[in-house]
Chains A and B, each alone.
Chain A
């Protein structure tokens, strides 16, 4: 099992550009999450999904959109990137809400 995978691993964007980050899991988990991690801070939840076709806002959703068209995939979109979105983005999944979350390797995003 590959677990949770993320693509791309690293990306540089110019302000105003758009991009999509892809997360895939092969553990048949219902719940999927997108986090961002900034230096000196704890992980912050951007959006999450409790099942195929459902999404919900987390702690810091502004500037991001998500879609969960297939159970195994969770996409994070940036419509118009801003320098404040420079961060490391992690995707995670879990079988139940209170169970252990399994994380992907992360995507490093630099917005110039």
Chain B
């Protein structure tokens, strides 16, 4: 069954600290993996998109890693800011379906001052 599991479900950290969010997937065949940020009451916004051959991709203070062998990805946030408070969603695209994205349920991150 094609699934995307994220952990933790929620996380609270202090402003300025780093954190890492995890994503495990069982989607096959794999095409690419995406991380989205979703602020409360808003639509998701793309952070990164990685194909099979990419191990790491950065977008400012956000760094995503991908291990296609173990089917794991992580999103590392450096020097967190209050504006990083949001849900972070891992999404995996299947290679044999152009249009089906398998969405994780997201990790809700709260940054406290």
Number of residue pairs across A and B with beta carbons under 8 Å? 52
Q: Are A45 and B43 in contact (CB under 8 A)?
A: no
Q: How far is the CA of A92 from the CA of B103 in the complex (A)?
A: 14
A100 to B99 alpha-carbon distance, docked (Å): 12
Interface of B is mostly: strand
Contact yes or no, B99 A56, CB < 8 A: yes
Max count, chain B CB within 10 A of own CB: residue among A92, A98, A102, A106: A98
Q: How large is the interface on A (under 10, 10 to 19, 20 to 34, 35 or more residues)?
A: 20 to 34
Q: Per a CB cutoff under 8 Å, which of A40, A41, A45, A103 touches B45? A: A103
Q: Which residues of A contact B4 (CB under 8 A)?
A: 42
Q: Residue B93 contacts which of A98, A102, A103 (CB distance < 8 angstroms)?
A: A98
Contact check, A105 vs B42: say whether CB atoms are below 8 A apart.
yes
Q: Which residues of A contact B89 (CB under 8 A)?
A: 42-43
Nearest Cβ in chain A — how far from B6, in angstroms? 9
Residues of B2-58 at the interface with A, using a CB-CB cut-off of 8 Å, are 4, 31-32, 34, 41-46, 49
Do B32 and A98 touch across chains, with their CB atoms under 8 A apart? yes
Q: How far is the CA of A4 from the CA of B105 in the complex (A)?
A: 23
Given known A41-B105, A42-B106, A45-B100, contact A100–B46 (CB-CB < 8 A)? yes
Check A100 against B34 for contact (C-beta < 8 Å): yes
**Quick check: is B111 within 8 A (CB to CB) of the other chain?**
no
Q: Chain B residues near A42: list those with CB within 8 A.
A: 4, 89, 91, 102-106
Q: Which residues of A contact B100 (CB under 8 A)?
A: 45, 58-59
* C-alpha gap A104/B29 in the complex (Å): 29
Contact call B103/A44, Cβ cutoff below 8 A: yes
Would you give 18 A-B contacts (Cβ < 8 Å), ordered by A? A31-B99, A42-B91, A42-B104, A43-B89, A43-B101, A50-B99, A58-B100, A59-B100, A90-B44, A97-B98, A97-B99, A98-B32, A98-B98, A101-B46, A103-B43, A104-B43, A105-B42, A106-B43
